[in-house]
Amino acid sequence: MNCYFCGIEATAQCPRCHRPYCHLHGDGLCQQCGLPISLLPSTTVYRGALVLLVLSLAFGAWQVFALPEFPVPEYRGNVGQLAPLSPDQPPGGPAAGGRPPATTETVTPTPTPSSQPDVTAPQPPPPPAPAAARRTYIVQSGDTLLGIALRFDVTVTALAAANSIESPYALSIGQELIIP
């Protein structure tokens, strides 16, 4: 058998490519398999790795930008104990103090002018409306000024001002707060 590169008598066979070679064209591997460039992966392996890289980048971009947004339920009450506020829940709510009572307005109809004179006796004036009831809240363990403000739908600054609380808004358990 002759050397693949020069044609003289081959002294060995390359274990990688199985080509015969002489002592001038290799030692352990033939001249072709011993070159540093031959140690690089083939073009098929390179293309496969490139395709996998592009696919993984596309999947990562889809994960970041194309995932659907989920609706966030409205939460009220103590920030430490997040319980969803549902329409069928009574005003007692998920935490002590619950949800503030809904306010309703009374609409009185406006009398329409009539062509006939009013014959009824004059009515006494209605009694004065009672003063607005003062709302209070007793601070419990784990309460924060922000959580109480959210529970009663007021701002933290208004709640702090109504109770003469200065920054850093320190609360004591059992403290009675006036809700503005």
Q: Judge if pTM exceeds 0.75.
A: no
pLDDT (tens, 9 = 90+) of the chain, 180 residues, equals 899 888 899 999 998 888 999 988 888 888 888 777 766 777 788 888 899 999 999 888 877 777 666 665 655 555 555 455 555 555 544 444 555 555 555 556 666 665 565 566 667 776 665 556 688 999 999 898 889 999 999 998 888 999 988 877 788 899 999 999
Torsion of the alpha carbons at 5, 10, 12 and 15, rounded to the nearest 10: 40
Q: What is the pLDDT of residue 64?
A: 78
What amino acid occupies position 90?
A: P
> H or E stretch including 44?
helix 43-65
| Domains defined for the chain, CATH in brackets | 1-44 (no CATH), 74-81+89-98+134-180 (3.10.350.10)
Among residues of the chain, what percentage have pLDDT more than 90? 20
Do residues 91 and 99 make contact, with C-beta atoms less than 8 angstroms apart?
yes
Instruction: Extract the runs of DSSP E, i.e. beta strands, from the chain.
Output: 12-13, 20-21, 75-76, 83-84, 135-138, 176-179
Q: Distance between CA 95 and CA 79 in Å, rounded?
A: 10
Tokens of 154: 């007021």
Q: What is the pLDDT of residue 93?
A: 46
Q: What is the pLDDT of residue 136?
A: 92
Q: What is the pLDDT of residue 152?
A: 92
